[in-house]
Amino acid sequence: MVVMEQVPTAERSSGRAVAVAAYAVLFVLGLVMGLLGAFQHSWYLRPTTVPISAFGCVLALFAVCYGAGRMMGGKLAALAAASGWLVMTMVWLSGRQEGDVIIAADLSGYIYLYGGMVAALTAVLVTPTAHGGSWLLTRH
pLDDT digits (tens, 9 = 90+) for 77-115: 999 999 999 999 988 887 767 766 777 788 888 898 999
Mind listing the pLDDT tens digit for each residue in 36-89?
A: 988 888 888 777 788 888 899 999 999 999 999 988 888 899 999 999 999 999
Q: Which pLDDT tens digit goes with each residue over 116-135?
A: 999 999 999 998 876 665 55
In this structure, the number of other CB atoms found within 10 A of the CB of residue 134 comes to: 13
What integer pLDDT is reported at residue 99 of this predicted model?
65
pLDDT recorded at residue 106:
84
Residue 1 banded pLDDT, cuts 50, 70, 90: low
DSSP characters over the chain: ---PPPPPHHHHHHHHHHHHHHHHHHHHHHHHHHHHHHHHTT--BTTTTB-HHHHHHHHHHHHHHHHHHHHHTSHHHHHHHHHHHHHHHHHHHS--TTS--SS-SSHHHHHHHHHHHHHHHHHHHHSPPTTSS-TTTS--
Phi, psi of 123 (to 5 degrees): -65, -40
φ and ψ at residue 51, rounded to 5 degrees: -75, 80
Count of other CB atoms within 10 angstroms of residue 68: 26
